[in-house]
Amino acid sequence: MGEEKRKLVKVNIFGEDYKIKGDANSEYIMRIADYLDRMMRSASERLTNRSHNNVAVLAAFHIADELFKVRNESENSASAIRAKLESLYEQLHRCIISRE
The domain limits of the chain are 2-71
Q: CA angle, corner 28, sides to 22 and 34, nearest 5?
A: 105
pLDDT tens string 77-99? 999 999 999 999 898 888 888 88
What's the chain's Rg over C-alpha atoms? 23
Percentage above 90 pLDDT, the chain: 75
- Out of 9-18, 44-53, 70-79, the most confident range is 9-18
Return the beta strands (E) in the chain as ranges.
7-13, 16-22
List, in sequence order, every residue forming a beta bridge with 16; answer none if it has no partner: 13
Question: What's the predicted TM-score (pTM) here?
Answer: 0.73
The whole-angstrom separation of Cα 28 and Cα 71 is 21
Give me the mean pLDDT over the 25-38 stretch.
97
DSSP for residue 14: T
The whole-angstrom separation of Cα 79 and Cα 87 is 12
Residue 1 pLDDT exceeds 50: no
